[in-house]
Chain A
């Protein structure tokens, strides 16, 4: 009985804090995405010949986000019956967008206006160790072009 109380408390904490952080994070993502709208990101590896930048440099953004108890509980139940792990989708979406935003911020402070050859790397920290912290790292990197000064 006592175990059940602990479980429900942890799930409740996970749910409310997880929801709170997620909605706060999304608000911040929307605001900053609008803010960095002027920095173009392009996935193509080879920039067009018309691009003649003053300098190009590697920019990257990385973020580590932890899964909450509630999300992990849902994912663990999912692993029994299969199907889309909806609870992790928003987590990864946030991580990817945050990583791109941090990369854009770095490019913006360097005075760049375009980033080419964008790549993502995703790593799960602690892998599948039982009882380990289920957190993910997303790294976004690319080549930023600093335009010639007019």
Chain B
């Protein structure tokens, strides 16, 4: 027998495709897949949340309520009173009770959370120029509760983290990062949608309460100037809230389309509330 070692042609055991092509294909398929899965899960959760009874939210949020209700003062009562006047204009389900709380902190923000609790921080309340802006703010936050946004956000958070732990166990760190970031950015678009629909409900409530939409965008001017002060400019796709300019623009568009009266009486926030706010802040500064 004669043994030979002939030259074997190349390209049998390897594939001559450009790795960049492979890279482009794989990343786009994986990113598209994650976006689709996240979006489907988010939509499922959003529709499932409608079935969850409001009492469930209330029972889950008892600890939050206890914490927030520790000491109610005049400001809490004023905010609650105002909310109670707005609520009839918002078509809330009958079993839905809204509780408004005032928190003496510098945070320029307000939020709505599980169980119908709305929190307004001193930082924001102090900056509001008039009651109209406050009504817009409360309308927006009450709309979050009416549309079940807190419980939807909770459900989505749980499901997405479950999905992540299922997928990520087997991937390298960099790929995990790619997947979780993609999923998070997809979720943010849902969050922006929620803000938008709450804005719509808020301005509707404002119009129905006063009969005009004067000062509807004052609230956003505050956020805008806060934003400019912070100097951080986050692009919209990385943010949980829509771009402030586009929110203002959107609200102006709605009032134009609906032919709402855009000029009207500006109601001011009662003096004694400011007094309480002041003493409240004085006491805190004394304690600091």
Interface residues of A (CB under 8 A from B): 1, 3, 7, 10-11, 15, 19, 33, 37, 39-42, 48, 50, 69-74, 76-81, 84, 86-87, 89-90, 92-93, 114, 130-131
Q: Is B1 an interface residue (CB 8 A)?
A: yes
Closest-by-CB residue of B relative to A48 is B1
Q: How far is the CB of A100 from chain B (nearest CB, A)?
A: 11
Q: Is B174 an interface residue (CB 8 A)?
A: yes
B13 touches A93 (CB 8 A): yes
Q: What are 13 A-B contacts with C-beta separation under 8 Å?
A: A3-B177, A7-B177, A39-B5, A69-B174, A70-B19, A74-B22, A74-B26, A76-B174, A77-B27, A80-B171, A87-B22, A131-B172, A131-B173
Given A15-B20, A73-B175, A84-B15, 19 additional A-B pairs, CB 8 A: A7-B178, A10-B174, A15-B19, A39-B5, A40-B3, A40-B5, A50-B1, A70-B19, A73-B23, A73-B172, A74-B19, A76-B171, A76-B172, A79-B170, A79-B171, A80-B30, A87-B19, A93-B14, A114-B3
Question: Measured between alpha carbons, how far is A23 from B224 in the docked complex, in Å?
Answer: 54
Complex contacts, A86 vs chain B, CB 8 Å: 15, 17, 19, 22
- With A42-B3, A93-B14, A114-B3 as known contacts, state yes or no: A76 contacts B19, CB within 8 Å: no
CB proximity to A under 8 Å, residues B63-87: none
B26 touches A41 (CB 8 A): no
CB proximity to A under 8 Å, residues B1-57: 1, 3-5, 7, 13-15, 17, 19-20, 22-23, 26-27, 29-30, 33
Q: Is B167 an interface residue (CB 8 A)?
A: yes
Question: Measured between alpha carbons, how far is A90 from B178 in the docked complex, in Å?
Answer: 25
- With A76-B172, A76-B175 as known contacts, state yes or no: A81 contacts B14, CB within 8 Å: no
CB proximity to A under 8 Å, residues B232-248: 238
A77 touches B175 (CB 8 A): yes
The secondary structure that dominates the A interface is helix
Which one, B1, B27, B173, contacts A130 given CB within 8 A?
Answer: B173
Question: Measured between alpha carbons, how far is A33 from B8 in the docked complex, in Å?
Answer: 10
Closest-by-CB residue of B relative to A91 is B14
How many residues belonging to B are interface residues under a CB distance threshold of 8 Å?
29
B15 touches A89 (CB 8 A): yes
Closest-by-CB residue of A relative to B27 is A77
Question: Measured between alpha carbons, how far is A130 from B26 in the docked complex, in Å?
Answer: 21
Q: How far is the CB of A93 from chain B (nearest CB, A)?
A: 5
Complex contacts, A19 vs chain B, CB 8 Å: 19
Complex contacts, B172 vs chain A, CB 8 Å: 72-73, 76, 130-131
Closest-by-CB residue of B relative to A69 is B174
Complex contacts, B174 vs chain A, CB 8 Å: 7, 10-11, 69, 73, 76
Complex contacts, A37 vs chain B, CB 8 Å: 5, 7
Closest-by-CB residue of B relative to A50 is B1
Complex contacts, A11 vs chain B, CB 8 Å: 174
Complex contacts, B238 vs chain A, CB 8 Å: 1
Which one, B7, B13, B15, B29, contacts A81 given CB within 8 A?
Answer: B29
Which one, B5, B20, B26, contacts A77 given CB within 8 A?
Answer: B26
Complex contacts, B173 vs chain A, CB 8 Å: 130-131
Interface bits B160-191 vs A (CB < 8 Å: 1, else 0): 00000001001111110110010000000000
Complex contacts, A71 vs chain B, CB 8 Å: 19
Question: Measured between alpha carbons, how far is A11 from B27 in the docked complex, in Å?
Answer: 13
